[in-house]
Structure 1
Amino acid sequence: MMPARLFILYLFVVLTPVVHCSSNLPITPYIYERLVYFIKASSISSCISDNLLLVNKTFNDGGCPPHINFCNDEIINPTAGQTVIELVLNAKKGELGSGYLAVDHGKKVVILAFRGSTTRQDWFSDFEIYPVNYSPLCVKEYRKLIEEGKIRECEGCKMHRGFLRFTETLGMDVFKKMESILESFPEYRIVVTGHSLGAALASLAGIELKIRGFDPLVLTFATPKIFNSEMKQWVDELFETDAIEKESILKNEIQFRKGYFRVVHTGDYIPMVPPFYHPAGLEMFINKVGLPQNAEDIEYRGKNNRLTLKDGFREGMSGLVEDWLHVYEHRAYFIDVVGCSGL
């Protein structure tokens, strides 16, 4: 018999309306390379569970496991020998937020990546989906920005309780370390990334970084919906989503140096739920189910598309609902995102 919570999730997916629109903005080789690079960078955060990411080491000098091609094969990742792991975040039992901070000196980028869900139970033990009032971790900086008229107060903002818990465990060590790195390398850019649960955490960490005066690129894969409508609008204002969209259309090229971007795969149900929350940012949609997925398999949908159900999406809803959360479509984001694998 299907558990009650799984049946509710089934109803969420079945009753979600179909919306489909796309843009003609091209996916350039540069953007495609970055998408593949950062999903791989996100995926190695799974190695934290086995304490296999080591601080003060480069990727190819013991920083991450030798079986990970992304870390050790410079044909696959030419900057592996120039990427140093600076900090590892290992969440305690009952907490969210395992991830790592690294600096790729070849690409001149600071990477903050968060681990995704590792078991089905992650989604149900942490799925406290009722909305709660949003309160930032960096309250002092938040209030200062409001007083200076740089942002408006996030009035009426609510979000997914289970993910907001992350701000209770996100330590200031991350921000202090990042500030130290950028003092030494002020020209480097920040990218915050994650897949699935890690994508939700990356979204929140990106908000905190914006409040602290940074200008990150938040790039998430398979992000569940976590904001109410008021907070979605505020987050889009914070990340200048409209301005980035307009500039991208004007130049006929996606402006990909900052802002909030979501990558969604056809057939992946996680970005559709819970239905009473909303996604922020600009969307890129992978319209090919199987791997490999190339640049021509990606549609830029931008801010106009909020749900990504294709015609006939529901036809494949056979089998156990328990398998939906980690089926192939949820893992197939340019690579098979599953554990501390070979990439």
Structure 2
Amino acid sequence: MALKGFGVLVLSLIGLAKAGLSLNIPSGGRHIVSQQRLSNPIISPTLFSELERLSRVVDISYCIGNSGLGEPFNCISRCDEFPTFSLVTAWNTGVLMSDSCGYIAVDHGAERPAEGSDDIPDANHTIMVAFRGTYSITNTVVDLSTVPQEYVPYPSPENGTDKPHPVCTNCTVHMGFMSSWETTRTVVVPQLIGLREKYPNSPIHLVGHSLGGALACLAALELKLAFGWDNLVVTTFGEPRVGNGQFAKFIDSVFDLEGDAQPDHRPYRRVTHANDPVPLLPLTEWGYSSHAGEIFISKASLSPAERDVRHCHGDDDPNCIADSDPYSRYKLWELFFAHRDYFWRLGLCIPGGDPTNWGRGPIGTSEVVEDEL
């Protein structure tokens, strides 16, 4: 069951504390907005709605390896909320530290084609790729954090672009994350090539939670650099640090995350949540850095309102997840939930998704039960 798997995260955090490693956890377990944070613009209602929807899209990926995900787009969780989706493929590479689960679907925009009928290539389609988080994210971070490897973008394939790649000088990435992507790409890349041929003008949305956020990052870089695909949108929830400072700056440059584009229109949205330790791992002491594009949910409990979700500046905005005060005593259960609470409680794959008997009200309402643990 998913709850048992997520217990690994809590136990791993205990192990980190016993090992004497300093975890910088955002201070306070409640909704605190500093005066400085007011300078960070609130996201638009349109982007808020999109991020909330994408959190449900990635939540469905937790059904893979659990109760399952089937055609046309069926599962016991939130699949009924996406009647325009058609499942293309789902994958599950295993249960080791380099494991990966996820699915590829086509959002037909208006209405899913009837079984046996032809799709319309020029319709308003979106290609969706969802990467599930691993149940052992912190184990992966700790066990492999000391062995970063050089980041070398994949060469252009025969059907890719002939344009020269930007060079990522002195870039290193987490070996575990890269190993997981190297395994996953054998499934994902061929499927996307076929879908790209069928829907040449359709955008590709990559969305991931936890380790899945790291995979979405590496996937997006390859698709953009090796294939020259520009209509990519990346959204991650609780993404860990993938590489070193040079790699973070490389991502900023490739996706123009510190350019003149309006924050709501950035092609890469790295969503973080108060009290979630994973975006601060691996530690900076181990040579890892965050990249830009952060959107911070400042409210610790569910459910956030628009005023609780703000754009951040640069790689380590002190008004966002980087604003942390180390303290020795904290509620491990808060951390247990903080990494899973992104608009909804992710990772359960049960009917209706987020269980109402946990005191969580729907998005857009004020129904929240405090201190239920």
Question: Is contact 1:163-1:226 (8 Å) kept?
Answer: yes
- Residue 44 of structure 1 corresponds to 60
The amino acid that maps onto 1:11 is: S
- Residue 104 of structure 2 corresponds to 101
- Residue 240 of structure 2 corresponds to 224
SS in 2 for 1:261: strand
The verdict on how the C-alpha distance between 1:208 and 1:148 changes in structure 2, with shifts beyond 3 A counting, is closer
**Offset, 1:333:** 0.8
The amino acid that maps onto 1:85 is: L
- Residue 242 of structure 1 corresponds to 258
Deviations 1:221-251 (A, max 9, x none): 11111211111111211112223xx121xxx
Question: Is contact 2:25-2:325 (8 Å) kept?
Answer: no
**Offset, 1:165:** 1.1
- Residue 28 of structure 1 corresponds to 44
- Residue 123 of structure 1 corresponds to 138
The verdict on how the C-alpha distance between 1:311 and 1:219 changes in structure 2, with shifts beyond 3 A counting, is closer
The amino acid that maps onto 2:272 is: V
- Residue 361 of structure 2 corresponds to none
Question: Is contact 2:137-2:210 (8 Å) kept?
Answer: no
Of residues 261, 264, 267, the one that matches 1:254 is 264
**Offset, 1:275:** 2.4
Q: Distance in 1 between matches of 2:172 and 2:200?
A: 34
The verdict on how the C-alpha distance between 1:306 and 1:141 changes in structure 2, with shifts beyond 3 A counting, is farther
Question: Is contact 2:131-2:216 (8 Å) kept?
Answer: yes
Deviations 1:270-318 (A, max 9, x none): 1112222111231111011111112111111142534635878556833
Map residues 7-156 of structure 1 onto 2, 5 A cutoff. Answer: 7-8=18-19, 10-13=21-24, 23-50=39-66, 52-54=68-70, 57-59=71-73, 63-65=74-76, 68=77, 70-72=78-80, 77=81, 80-94=82-96, 95-106=98-109, 108-118=125-135, 121-125=136-140, 127=142, 128-130=144-146, 131-136=148-153, 138-141=154-157, 148-149=163-164, 151-156=165-170
1:213 and 2:228 matched: yes
- Residue 296 of structure 1 corresponds to 307
The verdict on how the C-alpha distance between 1:35 and 1:15 changes in structure 2, with shifts beyond 3 A counting, is closer
Deviations 1:94-141 (A, max 9, x none): 2322111011111732111111122xx4521563012211133x3245
SS in 1 for 2:252: helix
- Residue 290 of structure 2 corresponds to 279
Q: Distance in 2 between matches of 1:15 and 1:36?
A: 22
Question: Is contact 1:222-1:271 (8 Å) kept?
Answer: yes
Alignment RMSD, CA only?
3.1
SS in 1 for 2:134: coil
Of residues 165, 175, 184, the one that matches 1:170 is 184
TM-score (normalised: structure 2): 0.74
The amino acid that maps onto 1:207 is: L
- Residue 200 of structure 2 corresponds to 186
**Offset, 1:29:** 1.8
Name structure 1 gaps, 5 residues minimum. none
Name structure 2 gaps, 5 residues minimum. 1-10, 28-33, 110-123, 354-373
Question: Is contact 1:291-1:334 (8 Å) kept?
Answer: yes
SS in 2 for 1:192: strand
SS in 2 for 1:291: coil
TM-score (normalised: structure 1): 0.80
The amino acid that maps onto 1:268 is: D
The verdict on how the C-alpha distance between 1:199 and 1:309 changes in structure 2, with shifts beyond 3 A counting, is closer
Of residues 266, 269, 276, the one that matches 2:277 is 269
SS in 1 for 2:24: helix
SS in 1 for 2:62: helix
Q: Distance in 2 between matches of 1:48 and 1:221?
A: 18
The verdict on how the C-alpha distance between 1:10 and 1:104 changes in structure 2, with shifts beyond 3 A counting, is same
The verdict on how the C-alpha distance between 1:294 and 1:205 changes in structure 2, with shifts beyond 3 A counting, is same
The amino acid that maps onto 1:213 is: G
Identity %: 27
SS in 2 for 1:49: coil
The verdict on how the C-alpha distance between 1:236 and 1:305 changes in structure 2, with shifts beyond 3 A counting, is same
Question: Is contact 2:42-2:308 (8 Å) kept?
Answer: no
The amino acid that maps onto 1:294 is: A
The amino acid that maps onto 2:347 is: V
The amino acid that maps onto 1:335 is: W
